[in-house]
Amino acid sequence: MIFSPVKGGGRGGRTRITRRAAVAAVGVVALLTAGACGSSDDNGGGSGSTKVEVFTWWADGGEKAGLDGLVKQFGTDCAGQTFENGAVAGGAGANAKSVLASRLQQGTPPDTFQAHAGAELSDYILAGQVEDISADYDAWGLKQAFPQGLIDNLTVEGKIYSVPANIHRANVVWTNKKVLADAGITKDPTDLAGFIADLEKVKAKGIKAPLAIGKDWTQLMLFESVLITDLGPEKFTGLWNGATDWNDPLVTKAINDFKTLLTYTNTDRDALDWTDAEKLVMDGKAGYQLMGDWEAADLDAKKFTDYAWFTFPGNGDTFQWLADSFVLPKGANNPEGTKCWLKTVGSAAGQKAFNTTKGSIPARTDAAPADYPKYQQAAMADWKSAKQVPSCAHGSACSQGWQGAANSALGAFSTKQDVPALQKALATAASQFVKK
Ligand code: GAL
């Protein structure tokens, strides 16, 4: 399996754990053995809590539906434990991540939180904020359940730190079928020129902004898709591990192509979350939106059925992946309850309950496609054969610091449209954050 070669946010990053973090991880194991694995008699090692606060940004629509599925399964699996919803709304964790950072800093972590496999998870591991759960992987048989490539993205120095709930795909365009039919569009575009020609056709029907988009991170997603088209999957992946220079002329081309695409988008983009942009598609005010496949679940949850999808034009068979995973934070109140949550997340029943309503595909390899809606069945098939590349907007490719720098560079570009300035800002961010 190819899976993402980006480990720990950079070339060889996965093995570059600091000595301090390694020592912290050892201390953490000692703490865990002392308390977290206790019997129900000692009730989780001290706090006596039977509440499991689950911190996510899944507050609404398809995201909430997925979480609800998991919670239901948790109720079945973990008698005596109670789910407490710690969700902070805002797409891609735009608000949740800063709330989480301050709670971790203050030493008041939730019992578990959502973290993207790859570089984002490595941030928490290297900061010594999450526990090693390798022993639980053995106990729960999870090493055999997940693809090795995914396990590599959860591992630092041979230790595993989280349980993946899913695999999402980022490089998907969602469409309003009626808007496209009205414009006489009958085929999916396979390259940028074809896409732009179709955007023109929709525009000619009086739809001023045929391509709906939201603020910074959603713009970063669109830009990453354009980069995949213009650079190809190998060079794109190289942008995140130091093998590809951000000053490459192909990056300049991608920025110019992205600038062209922005001319077809809504001018209020910087004020919108992804669901606001999605509403433009649902309301027929736009024909297209580039978004991760949580959109399939959200459109279903909102009972909008007149949609279709295609891979971003020019991406070929590239599957830009990301994975939500759950951790046991250091200092969690109820480690025993959290472990039961994690076990549910990794179980076949938990993955089915979650992914059938979240738009993602199960991280486990033993799922039956027939149990899933049409979109996920297609994604499962693609996942097996496609070229896999990671996502910076959703933490599999880049650290949180790098992601923040990229988001603000995109935000500035949205206003100023200054091509050299964006390229320079992205090259500077790479030189600051890439792990060689
Ligand atoms: C991603 C997350 C997805 C989905 C999306 C939109 O970062 O991995 O599960 O929630 O944000 O909020």
Q: Give the full edge-to-edge strand order of the sheet including 288-291.
A: 211-212, 288-291, 172-176, 307-311
191: Cβ–Cβ under 8 A, 6 or more apart, which residues?
A: 229, 313, 314
- Tokens found for residue 412: 């500035």
Adjacent-strand bridge partners of 54: 85, 112
Give the number of the atom of ligand 1 that is nearest the alpha carbon of residue 322.
8
Q: What is the H or E stretch that residue 51 is in?
A: strand 51-55
Determine which helix (DSSP H) or strand (DSSP E) holds 308, and give its type and residue range. strand 307-311
Rounded Cα gap, residues 216 and 273, in angstroms:
9
Q: 323: which 2 tokens?
A: 């994975």
- pLDDT computed for residue 303 by the predictor: 98
Mutate which of 54, 55, 56, 63 to test ligand 1's pocket (most atoms within 8 Å of Cβ)? 63
92 Cα–ligand 1 center, Å: 5
Question: Count of CB atoms within 10 A of residue 87's CB?
Answer: 17
Domains observed in the chain: 51-167+323-385 (3.40.190.10), 169-321+392-433 (3.40.190.10)
Give the distance (Å) from ligand 1 centre to CA of residue 91: 6
Q: State the distance from the centre of ligand 1 to the C-alpha of 19, rounded, in angstroms.
A: 32
Nearest CA residue ID for atom 9, ligand 1: 324
Expressed in angstroms and rounded, the spacing between residue 58 Cα and the centre of ligand 1 is 8
Task: Give, as one character, the DSSP assignment of residue 130.
Answer: B
- Of 56, 275, 394, 403, the one to substitute when testing ligand 1's pocket (max ligand atoms within 8 A of C-beta) is 394
The amino acid sitting at 283 is D
Q: How far is the CA of 113 from the centre of ligand 1 (A)?
A: 13
Q: 120: CA distance to ligand 1 center in Å?
A: 13
> How much distance in Å is there from the Cα of 51 to the middle of ligand 1?
24
- Per the listing, tokens 């009626």 go with 178
Structure tokens at 194: 């074809």
Atom of ligand 1 nearest to the CA of 116: 8
Nearest one of 301, 235, 258, 232 to 413, comparing CA atoms: 258
Evaluate whether 238 touches 244 at the Cβ level (below 8 Å): yes
Ligand 1 atom closest to Cα of residue 56: 10
Residue 90 has a pLDDT of 98
CB atoms near residue 170 (< 10 Å): 25
Which residues make beta-bridge pairs with 321? 169, 390
pLDDT of residue 23: 36
CA distance 122 to 154: 8
For a pocket test of ligand 1, which of 58, 153, 168, 326 has the largest count of ligand atoms closer than 8 A to its C-beta?
168
Q: Separation of 322 CA from ligand 1 center, angstroms?
A: 9
Nearest Cα to Cα of residue 50 among 78, 23, 28, 73: 78
Give residue 398 CA to ligand 1 midpoint distance, Å: 15
pLDDT at res. 350: 98
Three-state DSSP class for residue 92:
helix
Residue type, 311: T
Atom of ligand 1 nearest to the CA of 324: 8
Identify the burial level of 354 via C-beta atoms within 10 angstroms of its C-beta, where 0-12 means exposed, 13-18 middle and 19 or more buried.
buried
Position of tokens 């396979």? 190
The protein residue with its alpha carbon nearest to ligand 1, atom 5, reads 92
Give the amino acid at 58. W
- What pTM was computed for the model? 0.91
Which ligand 1 atom sits nearest the alpha carbon of residue 66? 9
Give me the tens of pLDDT residue by residue for the chain, a chain 436 residues long.
Answer: 446 544 433 323 333 333 333 333 333 333 333 333 333 333 344 568 999 999 999 999 999 999 999 999 999 999 999 999 999 999 999 999 999 999 999 999 999 999 999 999 999 999 999 999 999 999 999 999 999 999 999 999 999 999 999 999 999 999 999 999 999 999 999 999 999 999 999 999 999 999 999 999 999 999 999 999 999 999 999 999 999 999 999 999 999 999 999 999 999 999 999 999 999 999 999 999 999 999 999 999 999 999 999 999 999 999 999 999 999 999 999 999 999 999 999 999 999 999 999 999 999 999 999 999 999 999 999 999 999 999 999 999 999 999 999 999 999 999 999 999 999 999 999 999 998 6
**Ramachandran sector of residue 261 (left: φ over 0; alpha: ψ -120 to 50; beta: rest):** alpha
Asked if residue 266 lies in contact with residue 280, where contact means CB atoms within 8 angstroms, the answer is yes
User: How many whole angstroms from 34 Cα to the centroid of ligand 1?
Assistant: 34
Q: What DSSP line would sit under 249-266, residue for residue?
A: HHHHHHHHHHHHHHTTB-
Contacts of 141 (CB under 8 A, 6+ apart): none
For residue 344, the CA-to-ligand 1 centroid distance in Å is 20
Pocket (CB within 6 angstroms of ligand 1): 57-58, 63, 91-93, 116, 168, 292, 294, 322, 324, 394
Measured from the CA of 63, which atom of ligand 1 is nearest?
10
End-to-end CA distance of the chain: 23
Which of the 8 DSSP states describes residue 369? G
Predicted confidence at residue 266, as pLDDT, reads 98
Atom in ligand 1 nearest the alpha carbon of residue 323: 8
Give, using CA atoms, the residue closest to atom 1 of ligand 1.
92
Give the closest residue (by CA) to ligand 1 atom 8.
Answer: 324
Select from 319, 315, 358, 291 the least CA-distant residue to 188: 315
Instruction: Determine the Cα–Cα distance for residues 229 and 286; give it in Å rounded to an integer.
Output: 23
Instruction: Pick left, alpha or beta for residue 331 (phi over 0 → left; psi -120 to 50 → alpha; otherwise beta).
Output: left
**Rg, C-alpha atoms of the chain:** 21
